[in-house]
Structure 1
Amino acid sequence: VPVVVTSVSRTVWVASYVIDIAVDRDNSLLYVSYAGYCVYRLASNGVSAQVIAGSSTTSGTADGVGGAARFNYLYGLTCDTASNVAYISDYGNKRIRTLDLTNNNVATLAGSSYGTKDGIGVLAQFSGPSGIVHYTFSIDGMVLFVADTANNRIRRIVVASATVTTVAQIYACYNLCISRDGSSLFVGSLYTVVRINTSTAIMTLAGVAYSTGSTDGVGSSARFNGARGIALNGDETALIVTDYNNKLVRRIELSTNTVSTIAGATATTGLVDGPGLAARFYNPFGGKWYCNTTSLLCGLLIADYGNGAIRFVAVEEYYTPTTSAQSTPAPPTPAPPALCGLVDGPGLSARFYNPWGGKWYCNTTSLLCGLLIADYGNGAIRFVAVEEYYTPTTSAQSTPAPPTPAPPALCTNADCHNHAISWSGTVGACSCTCDPTWTDGTCSTSNVCTNSDCSGNAASVSGNRPSCTCTCPAEWIGNACETSNVCTNADCYGHATTVSGNRPNCMCTCAPEWTGTSCVASNVCTDDPDCNNHATSVSGNRPSCTCACPPEWVGSACETSNVCTNSADCSSHATSFSGNRPSCTCNCPSEWVGS
């Protein structure tokens, strides 16, 4: 069928920056949003949404039921409809969480801290879990595959034991899907789309590492710029992929690895429904294959991040089991909620989002009259032209309506440099609500953190101002890498001749008169203990001490007494003796003579 894009929901106040979506056992649409720390369930009218777990304003790590649970930037969502359990990638908390949809109880399955370590439960580490997909194997039972984006790894989690292992390394991996037989895992990354088979062999299907672009083509001749949402079509002959930075939806034929663009226009933002290449997106993120049993159309449900919208890209017919055109039909999926959107054009092809107030209006420039409408849900002012405006000189209207001045031109996203999530006002006085990656009144200044936000000293930088994350090299510390961590002589108490290393691992080469790892201990020779407290003077540094001994002590450390004794120096016969060797004086009794 022709590719057609429609909007399922655009709910600015709760769905801004919608990142991923899933359908639960009750056929309700669930989604997670970068702007809120929670999981939403979309109402059947496609307009309102309910927070079923977490908080829209408060982050944290707590497990618990419903609003008692806390998350910190959710990036991935998948739902096991058999057990009615959702599995969630909690990017900010470096954890994988479970959500029991029967009672909305949230629990931590694996992870607790930043790192790459495999392990069981909270002993395992993640650095940025994003996309997540589930599959039930005959031996291990329920298994999750997670794109650990910041670690450039694909992780495997056996749910029953919470055992986490690493199965592959793929640079800047984001989202993933798995074949019905579980034999092939498909992964979208910044530059490429790859397949991982059961032996963990990796094959690049399309794109080239470290080369961005939007070129269609076969295999390595094609280019991507952020392949994110990814899903197999009904008969698993093709992949449908969202190309985030190119604002496109791409199709890859698995028989030839041929890439084609089926929806959107390269680097052109907007919220426009309609035929594939006429449609517009604003950074499409996560995606799930979906079959609408009412319209009998199947395609990709997309989290349109920048528009805060959920979109449906229909690509093929849905065949029921009684239809011969498809021998193995995809399982039926419920119809999406009623469509809404912001689409201009001929009357019945236009879309509104809860039109509210209206006034009759005649435009004397276009010579058209009709209804000016306050389009409540879209935050837009629309004009529905229904008849011509006749001037007083025109005979077709005997009593013309007084001319009405043309309204000032309304602002569009182009007035916000195509970087706004919403806008209002008239040209010259536009009010732009910028995407987090842009700032100032017209969204013309990048708000993405750079090394200058890290004092020019970071090894890597992520986030948007004012919440920059600086990864400092060993020689710098501080939130903005603003403090030198290089060892100085102060770390050696000012006693070193040379210093090297970074704190706390300083290497001090001590001056001869100092010793110890930090040169904190004096190495200068002293009478006590180096000369046994017997020297008249001491010089030098240990171990080369020079002791000047008094006459009564001898030895290199004045350790030996030199005082004359009766036994040693007077043959034990003296009545008295005095002096120091070799000048002893022995006073002999009458029966003994000699010196």
Structure 2
Amino acid sequence: MRISSICALGFMLSLPLSVHAQDLPNTAPSDSAHTKVFTLAGAPKQAGSMDGNGPAARFKRPMGIAVGPDGMIYVADTENHTIRRITPAGAVTTLAGAAGSKGSLDGSGEAARFYHPVGIALDSQGNLYVTDSENHTIRKISPAGVVTTLAGAAGRKGSSDGVGTKASFNYPHGITVSADGTIYVTDTENHSVRQISNTSTVTTLAGVSGKKGTADGKGATALFYHPSGIAVTADGILYVADNGNHTIRKISRNGAVTTLAGTARKNGHADGIGPSARFDWPNGVAVDSQGLVYVADNVNSIIRIITPTGIVTTLVGKALSWGSQDGNTESARFEFPFGVAVNPSGNTIYVTDTKNQTIRRIQRSLL
């Protein structure tokens, strides 16, 4: 499974000292006393595929996650090769695919097949979009549960732009949908960001296929290194977790790529402003209606918040202190979280706690 390069499980480098949120000017509101972490579904370190309520359900390396306006949560259950649906109360069902049965078949519900799905996103019509990573395709799931292949051809990796199956991808991971229906994909092994129009036309928005790097710029002058998570604001600004560079990149509406936070190739866990902040293989990103960016900082096993001006703070967890405990900002623990999703107000955040095999909920009482 070609995901080890972006998960970096067990991979450690020396880390700089961190700074604290209270030392930073104009940061996101500090609400540690009013932030709680709960386990919504699954049981720590108990892998499996069972549907069920809360701790009775099982997952196997869940990665991508999305939340709908009705509060329903959708998860790419990667090593089960399935898409799961979770109610706000924690009842888990399998929406599409069959656990343990990988493939590329289109179809309804259990008849469809996936091969290590990673990213998942929802559009305004209730359609789900999935990066089917080892099939090198983008799949669509209708509200009725019918799975079709939107772009790419199963088993054929590449970097070609084109319409539908004429296009090709190379282990796509992150996916997001803008207000106008444009789909954006991080084409991870191609080190690029692709876009898919309403006519299923795939083009390369930024980066150069097969060329990794750190450069800011526009279009082919910008370079990435294993981009992973991606999120879009209501007004069309993109944020990308540039996993191999340990940075968070921003793509403006005119396609210009800049580095919002972190410094390329310098990993760590420091809070700070812009280039002074540090991440360690960041993966999932999400953005709320206020423009706050949420990051699943994978190896650090913490969830970060970034303001639109690049101020980075740690929301929950303690860097490099792994575990599965629920609790408040200081006591909660994660173990290699991958995906993150947030409701528009930013008061509820969902996380795929990948190595713990659980789905976590972060509840914030915004004052």
Normalised by the size of structure 1, how large is the TM-score? 0.49
182, 198, 202: which one aligns with 2:253? 198
Matching residue of 1:96:
138
Please tell me whether the aligned partners of residues 231 and 300 of structure 1 are also in contact (alpha carbons under 8 angstroms).
Answer: no
Where 2:97 maps in the other structure, the secondary structure is: strand
Pairing 1:5–2:58 present: no
Separation in structure 1 between the aligned mates of residue 73 and residue 288 of structure 2, nearest angstrom: 19
Matching residue of 1:179:
233
Where 1:83 maps in the other structure, the secondary structure is: coil
1:504-542 residue CA offsets vs partner (Å, 9 max, x unmatched): xxxxxxxxxxxxxxxxxxxxxxxxxxxxxxxxxxxxxxx
Matching residue of 1:163:
201
Matching residue of 2:286:
231
Matching residue of 2:100:
57
Q: CA deviation at 1:25?
A: 6.3
319, 342, 353: which one aligns with 1:304? 353
Q: After TM superposition, where is structure 1 displaced by more than 4 Å over at least 4 residues in a row?
A: none
Higher relative contact order (CA 8 A, sep 6+): 2
- The total of aligned residue pairs comes to 303
74, 97, 113: which one aligns with 1:70? 113
298, 302, 314: which one aligns with 1:248? 302
| Counterpart code for 1:239 | V
Q: CA deviation at 1:291?
A: 6.1
Please tell me whether the aligned partners of residues 288 and 343 of structure 2 are also in contact (alpha carbons under 8 angstroms).
Answer: no
Q: CA deviation at 1:299?
A: 3.4
Pairing 1:216–2:257 present: no
Counterparts in 2 of 1:25 and 1:185: CA distance versus 1, 3 Å: closer
| Counterpart code for 1:99 | I
Matching residue of 1:124:
167
Q: CA deviation at 1:58?
A: 0.8
Counterparts in 2 of 1:234 and 1:207: CA distance versus 1, 3 Å: same
Structure exhibiting the larger radius of gyration computed from Cα positions: 1
108, 130, 134: which one aligns with 2:149? 108
| Counterpart code for 1:98 | K
Separation in structure 2 between the aligned mates of residue 243 and residue 26 of structure 1, nearest angstrom: 27
Q: CA deviation at 1:117?
A: 1.0
Separation in structure 2 between the aligned mates of residue 43 and residue 203 of structure 1, nearest angstrom: 37
Pairing 1:153–2:199 present: no
Counterparts in 2 of 1:161 and 1:299: CA distance versus 1, 3 Å: same
Where 1:5 maps in the other structure, the secondary structure is: strand
RMSD, aligned α-carbons: 1.9
Separation in structure 1 between the aligned mates of residue 179 and residue 89 of structure 2, nearest angstrom: 33
Matching residue of 1:322:
none
Where 1:78 maps in the other structure, the secondary structure is: strand
Separation in structure 1 between the aligned mates of residue 71 and residue 271 of structure 2, nearest angstrom: 35
Q: CA deviation at 1:44?
A: 5.9
Separation in structure 2 between the aligned mates of residue 276 and residue 226 of structure 1, nearest angstrom: 21
Separation in structure 1 between the aligned mates of residue 76 and residue 323 of structure 2, nearest angstrom: 21
Counterparts in 2 of 1:43 and 1:262: CA distance versus 1, 3 Å: closer
Separation in structure 2 between the aligned mates of residue 20 and residue 91 of structure 1, nearest angstrom: 11
Separation in structure 2 between the aligned mates of residue 53 and residue 291 of structure 1, nearest angstrom: 26
Please tell me whether the aligned partners of residues 85 and 94 of structure 2 are also in contact (alpha carbons under 8 angstroms).
Answer: yes
Matching residue of 1:442:
none
338, 353, 360: which one aligns with 1:285? 338
Q: Structure 2 unaligned segments of length 5 or more: list them.
A: 1-30, 50-58, 208-223
Separation in structure 2 between the aligned mates of residue 272 and residue 172 of structure 1, nearest angstrom: 30
Equivalence map 1:153-552=2 (5 Å) = 153-158=192-197, 160-169=198-207, 170-182=224-236, 184-190=237-243, 191-236=246-291, 238-255=292-309, 257-290=310-343, 298-317=347-366
1:333-365 residue CA offsets vs partner (Å, 9 max, x unmatched): xxxxxxxxxxxxxxxxxxxxxxxxxxxxxxxxx
Matching residue of 2:21:
none
Separation in structure 2 between the aligned mates of residue 251 and residue 315 of structure 1, nearest angstrom: 13
Where 1:58 maps in the other structure, the secondary structure is: coil
1:175-206 residue CA offsets vs partner (Å, 9 max, x unmatched): 11111112x10111221001101211111011
Q: Give % identity.
A: 31
| Counterpart code for 1:152 | H
Where 1:35 maps in the other structure, the secondary structure is: helix
Please tell me whether the aligned partners of residues 298 and 316 of structure 1 are also in contact (alpha carbons under 8 angstroms).
Answer: yes
Q: CA deviation at 1:27?
A: 3.8
Please tell me whether the aligned partners of residues 174 and 228 of structure 2 are also in contact (alpha carbons under 8 angstroms).
Answer: yes
Normalised by the size of structure 2, how large is the TM-score? 0.78
Where 2:165 maps in the other structure, the secondary structure is: helix
Q: CA deviation at 1:24?
A: 4.2
Q: CA deviation at 1:67?
A: 1.3
| Counterpart code for 1:23 | V
| Counterpart code for 1:36 | N
Please tell me whether the aligned partners of residues 16 and 307 of structure 1 are also in contact (alpha carbons under 8 angstroms).
Answer: no
Separation in structure 2 between the aligned mates of residue 214 and residue 44 of structure 1, nearest angstrom: 31
Q: CA deviation at 1:129?
A: 0.8
Q: CA deviation at 1:110?
A: 0.3
Separation in structure 2 between the aligned mates of residue 201 and residue 316 of structure 1, nearest angstrom: 35
Separation in structure 2 between the aligned mates of residue 248 and residue 219 of structure 1, nearest angstrom: 18
20, 28, 33: which one aligns with 2:64? 20
Counterparts in 2 of 1:28 and 1:258: CA distance versus 1, 3 Å: closer
Q: CA deviation at 1:123?
A: 0.8
